[in-house]
Amino acid sequence: MDELKDAKETPEEMASTFTCAMFETPEAVLKGMRHMGSVNAVSYPVEISCEPCVRKHVHSIFMDNAVVSTTPTADGHTAIDSFHQFAGVKWLRDKPLTRFGDAQWLLIQKAEEEKLLHVTIKLPGVVLDKLISDSIDYYLSDGVSKSAQLWNEQRKMILHEAFYSFLLPSMEKEARSLLTSRAKSWLLSEYGKLLWDKVSVSPYQRKENDVSSDEETAPRVMACCWGPGKPATTFVMLDSSGEVLDLLHAGSLNLRIDQQCKKTDQQRVQKFIMDHQPHVVVLGAANLSCVRLKEDIYEIIFKMVEDNPRDVGHVMDNLNIVYGDESLPRVYENSRISVDQLPSQEGIIRCAVGLGRYLQNPLAMVATLCGPGREILSWKLYPWENFLTPDEKYGMVEQVMVDVTNQVGLDINLASSHEWLFAPLQFISGLGLRKAASLQRSLVKAGTIFTRKDLLTSHGFGKKVFTSAVGFLRVRCSELTSSSSQFIDLLDDKRIHPESYSLAQDLAKDIYREDGSGDAKDDDDVLEMAIEHVREKPHLLRAVDVHEYAEQKNRLNKKETLNDIRLELIEGFQDRRRPYVEPSQDDEFYMFSGETKETLSEGRIVRARVRRVQPQTAICELESGLTGMLSKEDCSDDWRDLNESTDKLHEGDILTCRVKSIQKNRYLVSLTNRKCEVRSNLFQNLRTTDPYYHEERITLHTGKEKTHRQEELAKKLFKPRLIVHPRSQNITADEAIELLSDKDPGESVIRPSSRGLNYLTLTLKVFDGVYDHQDIEEVGKDDKDITASLQIGKIVRIRGDTFDEVMDRYVDPLVTHLKAMLNYRKFRRGNKTEVDELLRIEKAENPNRIVYGFGISHESPGGFILTYIRSSDPHHDYVSLDPKGFKFREQMFKDIDHLVAYFQRH
C-alpha cells in the first residue's frame, strides 16, 4: 500500500497532449491508457485480475457466497411440466454453491445445453458491493483535490472492468467446474453403491435340511426364461459349479387353447425336474406372462410330489421358485464372452445360464462382463448414469469389484476346472487383466495346486505380485486335490498372509499344548494337529486374551495382526456379504413392468392403448404392458353422459391419462382421462421440492414470452379457408374469442380447424370468459373438387352425431337450451367455489331443505354443474348441453323442469 502521488493535471488535460490519428480525442487516449497498462503492455484490469493475492481473496469470497438461479426459456415454459426431468430445477432462486450436494447441477447443466433454462451464477448484491467497495479503498488515492478525484474515476473504471470483465467471469467458470466435479463425485458414489448392492450378495443358500454332499458349494439351479414361441420358453439345468447339464424347450407351456400340447410339455418339465432334482428354480421376470408361468411350474411340482411321494423325496416337496432380474442376464446374452463360453447356443439359453449363474455366484457373473469389451457398462443401474463417461463408470466398477473380490477371495482350484469362475481373478490385488490372464493360462495347464507357494515357484509370480495377491487366493480341497495324497495346508484357505504363518502356527501350538493335547515335540505332525485342533474347537480361540498373549511373547507390535489371525482361524474366509433375499412385491412389480418409482407413480401422465371396451369400463394397456382400468366416470368429461363407454371408445384408441392409483399385487393401474384432472397440477406436490425452488408464475417477461409462443403456435397450426357462409370467418381461435368477447352468450362463429381441410371449428360463447370449441367433421366431401372447400359439407358430424345442416339443426337448438339454462331461476353466477359458498349460505338459512343450483362448468366449457347440499358438504353432478335438451345421469331431458323433477325424485 504505497501512497499515491496525484498529478496536478486532470486526466483530460494530460491526455489531450497525446492525441493522434489512432487516438483522436482525450477520451480515446484515456481508454487506450487503461488498456495499455504498465511496462509489460498488459492492461491494468488484466494485471489486477491476474494478481495471485487478489484472485485468492475474490475466490474465497465468491465460493463462499455465490448463488445459482434458474429461469425457464420460452421453450422451457412449454416443455418442462410437473413431471419433466427438469421440473425440480425449473425455478431456483439464489441457491448457494455450498448447498449443492447431489447431482442436481448436472440436470441444470443439461437443461441449459438444451436451451430450456437460463442459468446465472453470481454474488449477492450486498456481498459484491462490499467486495468492490473494499477494493476501492485499497486502490484509490486519498487525495481530495479535483484532479485527484478525476484520476480516481479512471481508477474506478479500471477496477470495474477488472471485476466484471475478468475476475467474476473467471470465478463463475471455476464455480461451474467445481459444481460439475462435485456432482459427478456424488453420482459416481451413488452408482458405486448400487453396483455394490448387486455384487456384494451371497449366493442363494440351500435349505438346512438339504442332505447333498459338502462338495457342492453352490446350489443346483434350474433357470427358466419365458419365450413368446420363437424362441420358446426354455429351462436350463446347471450343476453346483454353474456348468450346463441339460436344457429343455417347452413352448406349449404358455398355451391356453391347445391343452394336449400343454399337457405334453408339463410331463416333459416334470421328468426334467425329477431327473435333475434342483435345489431351486429361478424364473426370469421378463413380463407379466411369467406370473402365470410360475403358477404352471408350481402346479407341475405339486402334481409330481402328489403322484410320486417316495421317488421325489423331501427336497422336491419344498422346492422353491424365485424370480430373477433379467437385466444382467440380457447383457450377458448379447455379449461376446457368452458366445465364447457357450458356443452354438441360442440367445435364450445364454440368458438362462446367466440368470442361474448370478444366483449361484453374483460376483463371478458380474466379473464375467468386466473383460476387455467392458459389457458391464451396458447394465443400467442408475437413472442419471448417462451423465458419466464410460471411463468414469468403469473406474468405479473396478473399485467396487476389487473391494468385493478381495473380501470374498478366489478358490483357484475350483476356478481351474470351470472357466467362468476365473472372471474375478483380474480384480485380485496386484494382478489386473493382463497378469490375471497369464496366471489363468498357467493354472489351467497345471490343473491344480496344493500350496500357495506354488504360485511363486511354478506360475511365474514375482515376489511383489505374490506379496500383494496371495492373501486373497484360496488353496483348498477340490475334485482334483481330493484324489491326491499330497498335504493341503489349512492356512492356505485363510485370509492369513504367508508372512504371518509363523505367528498363526505358534498361536495354534500354544493353544494345543495348553489344552493338554500336545507334547514338547515340534514337528510337522504336531503343527498339523494343532491347526486342526483349534479349527475344531473355536471356543479355545475365543477365550484367548490377545493383549496378554502378545505381551507374554514380546510381540506387542503384532497385537492387531494376532487378533486378525485369531478371528480367521475361528472361521476362515467368512462370507461377510449380505445374505440373498427373495424379491419383494415392489421389486417384482418393477421387474415385470420395466418401470421405476420415477417413471410410474400416482399422478404421472401415461399413454394407454384401449384393448377392450365394456359398457362401464375400458381395459387398456400401458406402454410397459401393464393393464390399465378406465371407468366410465373417469372418462373425458364429454363422454361421461354417454349411455355406455362403447359409444365413444374403440379398440386401438390411444389415450393420454393420469395415473390414479396402482395395485401392485394385481399389476393393475387405475387411470383417469378427464381433461380437468389430466391438465391439473394436483400431484405436483408429490415431487420433493428444493427449499430454494420458487416458481414465478406471473411476470411481465414470461407473460410476453408465453403470449408470443402461443401466437407463433397458432400461426403454425392455422390453415386458412375461404368459406361462403354467413357465420364463417377466416380467423384463429384467439381472434374468435376476441370477436365474441363483447357479444352476448349464445353468439358463435365458424372458423377453420387445425385438423385439416375436412374439419371446421365452432366457437360458441357460453358465458363471459367461457368459450366452447367444437370440432365439425365434414363427411363425404370430394377432395378433388376445388369448390368443395368453399362451402360447408352437406353432412357434418359433431360429437358423434350427424346433421344435414349446422346452424338450424345443431347450433340454434343448442343456443336455445343454453339461454334457457342461463335464465333459469336456480342458475347461479360464478365459478364452482363461489356457487358452493352461495348454496352454503342458503342452506344455513334453510337447514331442513335440500338446496341446489346450476352453475357454469369452467373446466369443461359447454356444460353445467348441478350443485346440491343435503347435510353440510356440496355434491356435484355434470349436466351437458345438447341440441335435443340436457343430458343428466345418462338420460336426456327436453327441458330443465323435467330434469329438476327427475333430480328431486332421485
Considering the domain architecture, whether residues 660 and 735 belong to the same structural domain is answered as no
Is there a contact between 768 and 796 (Cβ–Cβ < 8 Å)? no
Q: How far apart are CA 407 and CA 463, in angstroms?
A: 22
218, pLDDT greater than 50: yes
pTM score, whole prediction: 0.70
pLDDT classification of 233: cutoffs 50, 70, 90: very high
Candidate from 46-50, 322-326, 675-679 with smallest mean pLDDT: 675-679
6 found inside a domain: no
SS3 assignment, position 856: strand
**Band of residue 119 on the pLDDT scale cut at 50, 70, 90:** very high
Give mean pLDDT, residues 396-405.
95
Q: What is the pLDDT of residue 107?
A: 93
637: domain CATH number? 2.40.50.140
For the cut 50, the answer to whether the pLDDT of residue 381 exceeds it is yes
Give me the pLDDT at residue 349, please.
Answer: 94
Sheet of 874-882: strand order equals 851-856, 863-869, 874-882, 885-888, 891-893
Same domain, 268 and 340: yes
Ranking 17-31, 424-438, 644-658, 696-710 by mean pLDDT, the lowest is 696-710
In the predicted model, what is the mean pLDDT of residues 630-656?
70
Predicted confidence band at 20 (pLDDT cuts at 50, 70, 90)? Answer: confident
User: Cα(583)–Cα(586) distance, rounded to whole angstroms?
Assistant: 8
Q: What is the pLDDT of residue 549?
A: 86
Report the pLDDT averaged over residues 430-445: 88
Q: Give dist(CA 356, CA 276) in Å, integer.
A: 15
Q: Tell me the per-residue pLDDT of 483-515, one tens digit each, with 9 for 90 and over.
A: 555 667 788 888 889 888 888 888 888 888 887
Q: What pLDDT, on a 0 to 100 scale, did the predictor assign at position 781?
A: 64
Regarding whether 849 and 761 lie in a shared domain, the answer is no
Structural domain ending residue among the three candidates 801, 834, 853: 801
pLDDT digits (tens, 9 = 90+) for 67-117: 999 999 988 888 887 767 888 899 999 999 999 988 999 999 999 999 999
Q: Is pLDDT at 189 greater than 80 in this prediction?
A: yes
The arithmetic mean of pLDDT across residues 651-657, rounded, is 83
Q: Which grid coordinates are listed for 421?
A: 469362475
* SS3 label, residue 870: coil
Give the mean pLDDT of 342-356. Answer: 93
Q: Which of 6-20, 295-309, 751-765, 885-899 has the highest mean pLDDT?
A: 885-899
Look up residue 503 and give its amino acid.
L
Residue 753 sits at the vertex; the CA angle it makes with 748 and 757, to the nearest 5 degrees, is 125
Same domain flag for 324 and 366:
no
Q: How many domains does the chain have?
A: 7
Same domain, 288 and 268: yes
Contact by Cβ (8 Å): 70, 694: no
Q: Answer whether residue 579 is part of any domain.
A: no
The residue among 777 and 756 whose pLDDT is bigger is 777
H or E stretch at 737: helix 733-740
Report the DSSP beta bridge partners of residue 244. Answer: 238
Do 378 and 420 have their domain in common? yes
pLDDT at site 211: 46
Alpha-carbon distance 487 to 853, whole Å?
A: 97
CA–CA gap between residue 318 and residue 281 (Å, rounded):
11
Q: How confident is the model at residue 359 (pLDDT cuts 50, 70, 90)?
A: very high
- Distance of alpha carbon 352 from alpha carbon 223, whole angstroms: 5
525 lies in the same domain as 559: yes
pLDDT at 65: 94
Residue 376 is which amino acid?
A: I
For residue 523, tell me if it sits in a domain: yes
**CB of 70 within 8 A of CB of 96?**
no
Q: For position 3, what pLDDT does the model report? A: 67
In a domain, 345, yes or no: yes
Residues 613 and 509 in one domain: no
DSSP 113-177: HTTSEEEEEE--HHHHHHHHHHHHHHHS----SHHHHHHHHHHHHHHHHIIIIIIHHHHHHHHHH
Query: Each residue of 779-806: pLDDT tens digit?
Result: 766 555 545 555 666 677 787 677 767 7
Q: Does 478 share its domain with 527?
A: no
pLDDT of res. 683 = 45
Residue 169 lies in a domain: yes
Shared domain for 36 and 173, answered yes or no, is yes
Residues 369 and 314 both lie in one domain:
no
258: three-class secondary structure by DSSP:
coil
Q: For residues 541 and 570, is the Cβ–Cβ distance under 8 A?
A: yes
Helix, strand or coil, per DSSP, at residue 655: strand
Q: Average model confidence (pLDDT) for the chain?
A: 82
Q: What is the CATH number of the domain that holds 504?
A: 1.10.10.2740
Q: Which structural domain range is residue 749 located in?
A: 720-801
748-752 vs 668-672, strand pairing mode:
unpaired
Q: How many residues does the chain have?
A: 906
Whether residue 264 is predicted with pLDDT greater than 70 in this model: the reply is yes
Residue 584 domain-assigned (yes or no): no
565 vs 479, 487, 490, 711, CA distance in Å?
Answer: 28, 22, 13, 78
CATH of the domain at 484: 1.10.150.850
Tell me whether residue 381 is in a domain: yes
Asked if 235 and 247 touch (Cβ cutoff 8 Å), the reply is: yes
Last residue of a domain, one of 457, 488, 519: 488
Give me the CATH number covering residue 736: 3.30.505.10
> Residue 111 domain-assigned?
no
The last residue of one of the domains, among 679, 707, 729, is: 679
Average pLDDT, stretch 818-843? 88
> What is the rounded distance in angstroms from the CA atom of residue 784 to the CA atom of residue 787?
9
How high is the pLDDT of residue 642? 53
Instruction: Give yes or no for residue 701 having a pLDDT over 60.
Output: no
CB environment 354-382: b (16+ within 10 A), e (fewer): bbbbbbbbbbbbbbbbbbeeebbbebebb
- Residues of the chain above pLDDT 90, percent: 28
Q: Which residue has the cell 363422454?
A: 639
Cell numbers found for residue 739: 370477436
Which is more confident, 34 or 81? 81
Q: Residue 698's pLDDT is what?
A: 43
Do residues 182 and 59 share a domain?
yes
